[in-house]
Amino acid sequence: MADKEQKLFTDFAPITTEEWEAKINADLKGKDYERSLVWKTYEGFKVRPYYRQENLAGKDYLESLPGEFPYVRGNNKTNNDWFIRQNIFVTDFEEANKKALEVLGKGITSLGFLFSECGSVTKESLGVLLKDICLEAAEVNLVCPCDNCNCAEAFAAYVSEGNWDNDKVIASASIDPIGTFVLKGKLEEDAVKNLVQAVEAAKPVKNFRIIGVHGKFFANSGSSIAQELAFALAQGAEYLTQLTEAGVSVDDAAKAIKFNMGISNNYFMEIAKLRAGRLLWSKIVEAYGPECKCSAKMIVHSETNRFNKTVYDPYVNMLRTQTEAMSATLGGAHSVTVLPFNAVYEETTPFSERIARNQQILLKEESHFDKIADPSAGSYYIETLTEALADQAWELFLTVQEKGGFIAAFKEGFVQAEVKAMAEDRNKKIAQRRENILGTNQFPNFTENMKADFDGSLFEAVDLAEEGAEVETLKPYRGAQPFEALRYTTDMYARENKRPLAFMLTMGNLAFRKARAQFSCNFFAVAGFDVQDNNGFATVEEGVAAAKAAGADIVVVCSSDDEYAEIVPAVAEQLGEEILVVAGAPACADELKAKGITNFIHVKSNILEELKGYQEKLGI
């Protein structure tokens, strides 16, 4: 028994943080610690290279258990289960019912019905749509294109007249007049207070949340994670305020709200976002004085963002959505939609939908993510991120409240300005490849040529603003769009013309020429140019002759900085109409520029703007 109780590692003396820091600084050999190892997030706070138990000090919420207020550790006490949701576009109710029954037999536990027309949802049409679907076994979510339809009342009436145990029916209606205002720019007077009737009608169905707060609108418009969380919470608070002022109890108002959040590829931050969100929402609801603390649970549906999804190399989208689904489930999402990998550019297929379903099923059936309550608990890193993110989001939330609440802040233009500034920063980083989109602005598939025909809207932001909009609206877009438009332009040009060829004229130092040739091939392939790497040439004459024989349009000299001063001018003398490019930013750049050599590519280049320039020079 004594052996069983013996503590491990007692032979090793404990290492203090000061000792760790001293060792790290010694290994850095003079490099700046902050620049080398500390990451500054889009949210503005710094992430250290490691964390220790001492970093958990002062986090009072750690004393709570899963399923307990303030619900940081999840809404469930004994597990981490979630609903696997698939969206179905409803144009024909019978066909939608058939598809729903089909996917329910393939692992789906939550159905999202997206209706194409307002007013199409009635008690009778729901009878067709939900025929043979056990409402006690599958969650149902109704998503209408407008906010003044009677879908909530119709569903509540349908359930109440059926043979269901109403307390076991879990559903949502996703009515969001504030979210519609964000995208379309118009808000009817008393639009929120007009929801009182729907809230009252839905009360017989205990777990029917009729109001959907769409944080994903901010995420898909380029916001930071903290902004998405803060503005979503501000919208939720706006609903609470206006509904309670209209006579709805705090408990009923809070239990009518469901949050629809996006999931980005920032793996650990997204886990922390859901945990921080539950903490902050519980405190917000608590301030309204509910009768039951259970009303303060934040119910979140997570959907993989469109922002980082791509048209080129689309199978990479599967990798993105897999880690995103992991973040949402580990963070404690109530339900998750994994968008099929091709959802951003074409109608989804049975294959892409099956893959999307299976990505979540694997997390449950093989990885058992649903078995452990609060699986990220105790992680020094995630707990610290949770607190830091909560602090940042809360500060922004309070700023919105000081402006009179979300609607007032949006009418003032504050919310749009914050999101736009963040989006511009992200766009700049994407253009400079400081934020990578694999397969698009970094490491493209060299052999991929787009065969499909797309109209220009695929590469533009989505503008849903109505005529006579009262305010500037959010315009969801994808970060890859400028690069996709760039490459698509090359692909269209190549249908009728020779595809441009970038030829690597490699000479001199082996290590430098290989590294710079790889960098340059990657650089020009981003625009859809053909690239030709080479093992190395003994002389300039040999390299230039090979470039001309290959039909090169662009000749990229790849060598070491020390050798450029001699090699590059010699190459320039022998080229004709070919565009000469130097790979790197050598010390002799000014000397080369004085000789008329002006094209340099390197890690600090704005690759998007430079590739546009090369297209223009080539007449594309």
Q: Please, are residues 41 and 268 in contact by the beta-carbon 8 Å criterion?
A: no
pLDDT for the residue 4: 65
How far apart (Å, rounded) are the C-alpha atoms in residues 55 and 58? 8
Four-way CATH pick for 498-618: 3.40.50.280, 3.20.20.80, 3.40.50.300, 3.40.50.1220: 3.40.50.280
Residue 366 to residues 80, 137, 361, 363, 369: CA-CA distances in angstroms?
A: 15, 22, 8, 6, 8
Domain spans of the chain, in order of start: 60-402, 498-618
Give φ, ψ of 175 to 5 degrees.
-80, 130
386, burial (CB in 10 Å: exposed 0-12, middle 13-18, buried 19+): buried
Q: 83-90 and 335-337 as β-strands: parallel, antiparallel, unpaired?
A: parallel
Q: Please, are residues 79 and 371 in contact by the beta-carbon 8 Å criterion?
A: yes
pLDDT for the residue 1: 46
How far apart (Å, rounded) are the C-alpha atoms in residues 170 and 137? 9
Cα-Cα end-to-end distance for the chain: 79
Tell me, yes or no, if the two domains 60-402 and 498-618 fold the same way.
Answer: no
How far apart (Å, rounded) are the C-alpha atoms in residues 417 and 403? 14
**Residue 271 backbone zone (phi > 0: left; psi -120 to 50: alpha; other: beta):** alpha
Residues contacting 2, CB < 8 A, separation 6+: none
How far apart (Å, rounded) are the C-alpha atoms in residues 428 and 606? 8
pLDDT for the residue 135: 96
Q: Domain 60-402 is classified in which CATH homologous superfamily?
A: Methylmalonyl-CoA mutase (3.20.20.240)
Give φ, ψ of 366 to 5 degrees.
-110, -35
| DSSP summary character for residue 442 | B
b/e sequence 453-489, b meaning 16+ C-beta within 10 Å: eeeeebbebeeebeeeeebebbbbbbbbbbbbbbbbb
| DSSP summary character for residue 604 | T
In the predicted model, residues of the chain with pLDDT beneath 70 are 1-4
How far apart (Å, rounded) are the C-alpha atoms in residues 141 and 378? 34
DSSP element (H, E) containing 494: helix 481-496
CB atoms closer than 10 angstroms to residue 524:
27
Residue 120 to residues 91, 114, 163, 367: CA-CA distances in angstroms?
A: 10, 11, 24, 40
pLDDT for the residue 595: 94
pLDDT for the residue 148: 76
Helix 267-287 crosses helix 380-402 at what angle (to 10 degrees)? 50
User: Which of these, 119, 235, 122, 121, lies nearest to 187 by C-alpha position?
Assistant: 235
DSSP element (H, E) containing 39: strand 39-40
pLDDT for the residue 11: 79
How far apart (Å, rounded) are the C-alpha atoms in residues 175 and 146? 8
How far apart (Å, rounded) are the C-alpha atoms in residues 565 and 508? 12
